[in-house]
């Protein structure tokens, strides 16, 4: 049924994994993009897939870690004066093994990948200290990606649980994972996650920085923040959300909102700026940050700290003021060859979704857009994976490159394992629906394979091709558990007599029969129409059969 | 918290029910559209709400039932030469109590309702033999409605279960319910459903007609079908799906599809027509059907027997050929003052959704559109409530008046109680998201009330306003079950230190503080900024506070 296969690139150490779904009935097997990784023992972590590619370029060195939490550890860093980002390589005309790997995953030519990265329209997040991750692309031209947020909060969860959620999220299709841990053991939790993650890991360094100053935004400083970024850079975080677009002058724009500032990072920086009447240090020190990011190939995920948290606040002045600043910062990052994407909303009614993408493309010069949903209504807490899957599918159709999932627990509590799966599945649906709408080459092959299996009553193939085979099978078996039902030409929804697909098969035979007869000379005897006499009943007379078209 | 209230119309017997959600914190209560009905004892059924309105017009008479299954029963029927449809009244300039009731539900003037019905742009389905139902509207100008399908299949379910599903579906917001029962006891199941339903009931009479001929399509005849329609008309079915648009010449257009004909009714009629080489009797006898429908005020739901059953088959020649015929039939029905809506797909990728609405409006002269989803991808059996909620929200935004729900069991089995709820909730989300996008007056008040409660940490109000209060509460309580958590200014998702809404409140105070101080003369002493020193920490010095804006 399902097995992992690898496609080799131009060199033997480029081995790109796919899921291959074997089918019955003489159908060719189907290869699907695979995020699950090679599997790891959490105590040991994953193998360093990209290590040799990183070293062979000769632009990194092994140095003692600077971050105090990494004391005694040796980490990679760009040699002085060297830029080790995929954007830098792409601009220099180099197709890296990382790019080739990602191109094979997408079924595209490596040169297309290089071109999209060089133009800033796509990113390939992969910190040189996270050699375990499998290269992937975030960009409008590629398959729509999804991110799953995990992480401990101050009141819930443990490290082992979070590593388990990581593996679980990747199994179901998460393309990247953000570790949003707060509370105790942030460093150790992240260590467990990065070492076991086959996908790029994102963080919001501000959360840990705030923990370091005991949760008091007033004690935050550039120095504490910078040290936190370096600590995380050395661990291997691949992209970081930086709320550098929340400027002092933007904050009053959010004062009269129904839900104020709903981004944690945004509200923390607004509190810092406002109380001190100083400009956001993430903005004033942005070039220093770029230098750090360039040394490890960390990508910016420019945070939208003023994103709307309710339908009422969508597309307002605060949100768009920040988006303009995100555009300004995008271009600065590119000066340093640092990869960038832009975060977007939030809560947006359907008719206001397209404007978000249009403005982001214009103001941020087509850098990849990475949105949280958006939720298309506020009325359904406990179902925000659905309220937001609607918005996510639409915004991705318009050009958003990556969708940050929302789980059923949004607004209510920390997602558990089941919630993570529910969020990932809802977002894989949204992303794939957008791939279809965008006409991504090959996207529809999956739908066609499943629909063909459905029409042929190949139940096992239908389950195997389903986004979630386990649940599809269990739902089917709830009413028809017996093994013969797996080959039956109906299910319990309509029962045997009313199965349109069964009747439709008989129709197909009938139509073909009519066509065939038409093309024969009239002297030949009409063949017996077996399907009519057996399945559709005995009523048709010979005369009627003769008249069949 | 939640209670039922009634708004009286221009006469005392027009009592329109709403759910009123009482809120705390001095907030005004919110009234919501209510589909749950007055509640009934299944053994007794509901009271005959509309009985006096029906009689007082003097155009109906009580006659012995014709349908053999209704033997001995007295039913209502239009007097000879009289038309008893809401379309007839609307065209005659009469605002019926039914129209006024429905107008109050929608928060609109009754004359607007009359005008929309008269123009054929809306229907008010209410068979004179189903006086228990509460009048409602299906039309683009009104709130988007949702239908829930229930019904026994040949292999599963019982009458009591189906009546329970009906009540359950209405509790969660189903605006109409279709009884798609097949197998044994169809008549009795429908009797239980109609007598207990506060919402209009739809059926596909062909299913029962087929049972009457032992499931053999060849044995079907206009006579068997007509008698079935009359039997159901006398029981009180409010709208009927009629697959009259599946013409003989359309069938070959579907022969090469990936999934053929996926409508049960469509495949049955195609089989009948093709095998006999006779035109679909639903088409050839359509005017006779109109006469029956007019005598009871049954609305047509013109079936889309050739709707696509896979992404590959969307918007194809077969589908659109039938849609043109639906348009032709719509105008014929209007000749008889019979109300009509048109059924639509099915499986459609996002970028092809709008074309469906545009063509339906043009070809069917703006009659209400009633679509099944559409599912925006085929790859997620067990999650088709989500794949289709995406398409449903979009198609409703473009103008579809009613959405037929899809449950997680779609393609896999008969939905149980949990599936019915999951389907209804997903579709209430889609419908409401569309109401917002269409700017339906009053729709956003619900979102705003919930978001305001969220921002104010009024947890009980948040649960009370949620589409599904039970699940929202249980998700919250999973991690923070204690009673104090219901007033806490955070949840387990972010914990107390990271709650952006909490910080945002403090910011609001800070901003207001800054503004106030700015407008004061500099001689006045600066007031102590309590929020800064308590909540945002002790770090800010007096100098910093003084600089606050």
Would the CB atoms of A383 and B425 count as touching at under 8 Å? yes
Q: Is the pLDDT of residue A512 over 80?
A: no
Angle at B203 between CA A508 and CA A452, to 5 degrees: 30
Q: How far is A287 from chain B (nearest CA, A)?
A: 26
A397-423 pLDDT, tens per residue? Answer: 999 999 999 999 999 988 999 999 999
Of A276, A479, A544, the CB nearest to B275: A544
Average of pLDDT values for A513-535? 40
Q: What tokens appear for A173 in the block? A: 């299709």
B429-445 pLDDT, tens per residue? Answer: 999 999 999 999 889 99
Put simply, whether the predicted model's pTM sits higher than 0.90 gets the answer yes
Higher pLDDT, B182 or A58: A58
Among B510, B508, B521, B502, residue whose Cα is nearest residue B547: B510
Q: Is residue A370 annotated as involved in ligand binding?
A: yes
Report the residue of chain B nearest A481, measured CA to CA. B413
Helix (H, G, I), strand (E, B) or coil at B3: strand
Chain B residues with CB under 8 Å of A219 CB are: 537, 539
Q: Is the pLDDT of residue A483 over 90?
A: no
Cα separation, B36 vs B172, whole angstroms = 7
Q: How far is B508 from chain A (nearest CA, A)?
A: 6
Indicate if ipTM > 0.85. Answer: yes
**In 3-state terms, chain B is what percent helix, strand and coil (to 5)?**
45, 15, 40
Residue of B263, B278, B316, B383 for testing the chain A interface, max A β-carbons within 10 Å: B383
A298-339 pLDDT, tens per residue? Answer: 999 999 999 999 999 999 999 999 999 999 999 999 999 999
Cα separation, A270 vs A445, whole angstroms = 47
B503 upstream amide cis, omega within 30 of 0: no
Indicate the DSSP class of residue B308.
-
Name A194's Cβ contacts closer than 8 Å, sequence gap at least 6.
A130, A132, A179, A201, A235, A236, A237
Residue of A33, A205, A429, A532 for testing the chain B interface, max B β-carbons within 10 Å: A429
Cα separation, B539 vs B464, whole angstroms = 39
Whole-angstrom CA distances from A174 to A49, A165, A183, A186 are 19, 11, 24, 21
Q: Is residue B347 annotated as involved in ligand binding?
A: yes
CB A125 within 8 A of CB A145: no
Average of pLDDT values for A147-156? 80
Q: How far is B52 from chain A (nearest CA, A)?
A: 37
Would the CB atoms of A275 and B448 count as touching at under 8 Å? no
Q: How far is A396 from chain B (nearest CA, A)?
A: 11
Cα of B120 vs its chain's centroid, Å: 19
Q: How far is B449 from chain A (nearest CA, A)?
A: 9
Q: Is residue A305 annotated as involved in ligand binding?
A: yes
Q: How far is B13 from chain A (nearest CA, A)?
A: 32
Helix (H, G, I), strand (E, B) or coil at A178: strand
Average of pLDDT values for A25-53? 93
Would the CB atoms of A448 and B310 count as touching at under 8 Å? yes
Q: How is A384-426 classified by DSSP, letter by letter?
A: HHHHHHHHHHHHHHHT--EEE---TTTTTS---HHHHHHHHHH
Q: Is the pLDDT of residue A78 over 50?
A: yes
Residue of A208, A374, A377, A449 for testing the chain B interface, max B β-carbons within 10 Å: A377
Would the CB atoms of A389 and B390 count as touching at under 8 Å? yes
Q: Is residue B26 annotated as involved in ligand binding?
A: no
Cα separation, B509 vs B527, whole angstroms = 13
Would the CB atoms of A389 and B394 count as touching at under 8 Å? no
Cα separation, B37 vs B387, whole angstroms = 30
Q: Is residue A263 annotated as involved in ligand binding?
A: yes
Among B88, B303, B323, B67, residue whose Cα is nearest residue B178: B303
What b/e readout covers B139-149, taking b as 16+ CB neighbours within 10 angstroms? Answer: bbbbbbbbbbb
Whole-angstrom CA distances from B371 to A442, B43, B240, B478 are 28, 33, 15, 37
Cα separation, A97 vs A116, whole angstroms = 16
Of A377, A468, A493, the CB nearest to B382: A468
Among A124, A132, A167, residue whose Cα is nearest residue A338: A124
Confidence label for A156 from pLDDT (cuts 50, 70 and 90): low
Q: A521-527, long-range: CB within 8 Å, 24+ apart, which pairs?
A: none
Would the CB atoms of B312 and A496 count as touching at under 8 Å? no
B45-82 pLDDT, tens per residue? Answer: 999 999 999 999 999 999 999 988 999 999 999 999 99
Chain A residues with CB under 8 Å of B479 CB are: 155-156, 413-414
Would the CB atoms of A540 and B218 count as touching at under 8 Å? yes
Report the residue of chain A nearest B414, measured CA to CA. A493
- pLDDT of amino acid A516: 56
Q: How far is A470 from chain B (nearest CA, A)?
A: 9
**Percentage, residues of chain B above pLDDT 90:** 79
B488-509 pLDDT, tens per residue? Answer: 776 666 666 667 777 777 777 7
Of A349, A409, A548, the CB nearest to B275: A548
- Cβ-Cβ contacts under 8 Å between A and B: the total is 475
Q: Is residue B494 annotated as involved in ligand binding?
A: yes
């Amino acid at each position: 049924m399902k097995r992992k296969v690898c496609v080799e690139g131009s060199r033997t150490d480029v081995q790109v994994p796919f899921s291959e779904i074997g089918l019955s009935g003489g159908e060719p097997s189907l290869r699907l993009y695979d995020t699950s990784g090679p599997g790891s023992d959490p105590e040991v972590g994953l193998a360093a897939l990209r290590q040799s590619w990183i070293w062979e370029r000769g632009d990194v060195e092994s140095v003692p870690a600077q971050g105090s939490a990494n004391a005694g550890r040796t980490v990679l860093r760009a040699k002085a004066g060297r830029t080790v980002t995929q954007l830098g390589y792409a601009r220099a005309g180099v197709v890296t093994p990382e790019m080739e790997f990602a191109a094979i995953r997408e079924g595209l030519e490596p040169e297309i990948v290089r071109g999209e990265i060089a133009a800033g329209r796509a990113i390939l997040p992969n910190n040189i200290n996270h050699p375990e991750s499998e290269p992937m692309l975030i960009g409008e031209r590629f398959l729509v990606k999804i991110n799953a947020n995990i992480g401990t909060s101050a009141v819930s969860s443990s490290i082992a649980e979070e590593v388990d959620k990581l593996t679980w999220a990747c199994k179901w299709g998460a393309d990247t994972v953000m570790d949003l841990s707060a509370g105790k053991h942030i460093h150790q939790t992240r260590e467990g996650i990065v070492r076991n993650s086959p996908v790029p890991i994102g963080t919001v360094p501000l959360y840990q920085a705030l923990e370091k100053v005991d949760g008091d935004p007033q004690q935050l400083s550039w120095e504490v923040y910078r040290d936190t970024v370096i600590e995380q850079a050395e661990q291997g975080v691949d992209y970081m959300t930086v709320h550098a677009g929340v400027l002092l002058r933007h904050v009053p724009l959010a004062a009269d909102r129904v839900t104020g500032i709903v981004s944690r990072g945004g509200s923390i920086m607004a509190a810092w700026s406002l109380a001190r009447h100083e400009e956001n240090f993430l903005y004033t020190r942005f070039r220093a940050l770029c230098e750090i990011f360039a040394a490890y190939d960390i990508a910016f995920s420019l945070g939208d700290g003023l994103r709307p948290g309710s339908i009422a606040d969508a597309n307002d002045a605060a949100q768009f003021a920040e988006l303009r600043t995100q555009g300004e910062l995008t271009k600065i990052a590119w000066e340093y060859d640092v990869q960038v994407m832009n975060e977007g909303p939030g809560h947006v009614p359907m008719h206001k979704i397209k404007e978000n993408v249009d403005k982001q493309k214009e103001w941020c010069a087509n850098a990849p857009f990475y949105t949280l949903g958006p939720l298309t209504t506020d009325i359904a807490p406990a179902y925000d994976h659905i309220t937001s899957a609607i918005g996510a599918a639409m915004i991705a159709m318009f050009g958003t490159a990556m969708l940050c999932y929302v789980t059923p627990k949004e607004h209510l509590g920390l997602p558990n394992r089941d919630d993570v799966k529910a969020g990932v599945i809802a977002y894989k649906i949204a992303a794939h629906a957008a791939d279809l709408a965008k006409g991504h080459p090959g996207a529809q092959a999956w739908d066609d394979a499943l629909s063909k299996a459905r029409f042929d009553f190949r139940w096992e193939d239908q389950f195997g091709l389903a986004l979630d085979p386990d649940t599809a099978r269990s739902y089917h078996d709830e009413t028809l558990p017996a093994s013969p039902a797996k080959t039956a030409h109906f299910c319990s929804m309509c029962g045997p007599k009313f199965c349109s697909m069964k009747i439709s098969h008989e129709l197909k035979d009938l139509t073909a029969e009519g066509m065939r007869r038409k093309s024969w000379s009239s002297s030949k005897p009409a063949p017996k129409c077996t399907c009519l006499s057996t399945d559709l009943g005995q009523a048709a007379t010979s005369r009627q059969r003769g008249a069949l078209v």
